[in-house]
Copies of this chain bind each other. A is one copy, B any other.
Amino acid sequence: MNKETRTQCTRNASRQRREQQKEELRQAILDAAAELLLAHGYEGFSLRQVAEQIGYTPTTIYLYFEDKADLLFAVVDSAYADFSRRLQAAYDSADDPLQRIRVLGRAYIDFGLANPVVYQLIFVQRTDFLLTWRQGEQQPRASALLILLRAVEEAQQTGVVRPGDVQSLGDALWAMVHGLVSLAIGMPMFDAARSRAASETALDLMIDALRA
A171 within 8 A of B: yes
Choice from B43, B189, B205 contacting A210 with Cβ under 8 Å: B205
Bound Cα distance A80, B41 (Å):
22
User: How far, in Å, is A113 (CB) from chain B's closest CB?
Assistant: 13
A125: which B residues are within 8 A, CB to CB? 41
Residues of chain A having any CB pair with chain B under 8 Å: 41-44, 123-125, 127-128, 130-131, 142, 164-165, 167-169, 171-172, 174-180, 182-183, 186-189, 194, 197-198, 200-202, 205-206, 208-210
Most interface-central of A189, A194, A209 (chain B CB within 10 A): A209
Known contacts A125-B41, A189-B131, A179 near B174 by CB under 8 Å: yes
Q: Which residue of B lies closest to A172 (CB)?
A: B202
Bound Cα distance A210, B182 (Å):
21
Are the CB atoms of B188 and A130 closer together than 8 Å?
Answer: yes
Choice from B44, B124, B131, B179 contacting A176 with Cβ under 8 Å: B179
Most interface-central of A127, A175, A187, A198 (chain B CB within 10 A): A175
Are the CB atoms of A189 and B142 closer together than 8 Å?
Answer: yes
Known contacts A188-B131, A189-B142, A209-B205, A198 near B179 by CB under 8 Å: no
Are the CB atoms of A202 and B176 closer together than 8 Å?
Answer: yes
A189: which B residues are within 8 A, CB to CB? 130-131, 142
- Closest 9 pairs (CB-CB, A-B): A179-B179, A43-B43, A175-B179, A171-B198, A209-B209, A172-B202, A168-B201, A205-B209, A175-B180
